[in-house]
Structure 1
Amino acid sequence: MTPGSWSPSAPAGKLTRGDRLAGALLGQALGDALGFVVEAEPPVAAAAYVREFLQTDRAGERHRPSFPFGQYTDDTQLARELLLSVREAGGWSPSAFAGRVAALFQDGRDVGAGPGTRGAAERLLAGASWRESGAVAPYAGNGSAMRVAPLGVLFAEDAVGLRLAAGEQSRITHRDPRCAAGAVAV
């Protein structure tokens, strides 16, 4: 196969919603795993890592010795939990997603969560409502935007529902309105 010669097995219009959900989650996991090694690093370090990867066709393991190569972060974990909560609840339910967020952290399965998300999970575990669990400023992290892709697929034909669900899932971990705006924008 030569660069640019790949074509999907089905035209984009023929992909099922399941195909699109799988693609969104797989794409997120791959990008998250490749980017985890330079997360929170200065742009020059990230650029050097990308150059190294492109020149050697191999991703290196830097700054994350306690995790295996290819490990994705809580961003992908929470996107997966969001999707599982929709399946289990039979539709979008902020309460169902909040329960899965709490369980992920209660079991200690989270990877690389920031202080805002970790604090929200602790508040959920202590009995806070999903409406009140999210971190407030200055914790205006991007986690709620990082995990929202499955909702984009699920609400592809319902822009109003998508905005509502994106904002609600954001509020569970980040109540700063900038976070909800970022999730809605994605």
Structure 2
Amino acid sequence: MCIGSPDSVPPSDGHLFFDSVHPTELTHRILGKAIHEAISTADFDGDTVSIEDDLCPNTPFNGTVDENGCAASELDDDADGVFNDVDQCENTANDTDNIDESGCQTIIELADGEFQCDNGDIISQDSVNNGEQDCIDGSDETVSESHTKAGLPTIGIAGIFIAISGAIIATNHRIKE
């Protein structure tokens, strides 16, 4: 129904939609709610998470975020001091003294007969340099003799590798160079 039709009531103050067909109260409630929601759910960093729920309110604009509004560059899930976006070894212990810039432990305790791949996986020492790639990154097939346990001297504490100028001089642990 429109103004001028027999069923409409002319507006009392000259506004177009104040009649029985277009109820003012309902229109104001709907508009008011929409405006309130738009204002109260502001999202200044554009990550689609409202300010009230955004744990990381300064993410890069239009970046990929989790349900809390945080980008991988703002999170350190394993508390090793290296943000998730550059952390190559997820779930390392939070011993930050023995973690490198890629989030990997620099001193790894290995049991006898174990080898640690460059990506952190542990495989059997028998799989090293056997002509078959057992590490996802292929690091088991590029190991020089000085990096294997066979024939390396110990230094009193059995099973600890010590890195001096990139050389490994003990056994049962592997240090990333």
TM-score range, shorter chain: under 0.3
Which structure shows the bigger proportion of residues in helix conformation? 1
Q: Per residue, is there more strand in 1 or in 2?
A: 2
Tell me which of the two structures has the higher relative contact order, counting C-alpha pairs closer than 8 angstroms and 6 or more residues apart: 1
Whichever of the two has the greater Rg, that structure is 2
TM-score by length of 1: 0.20
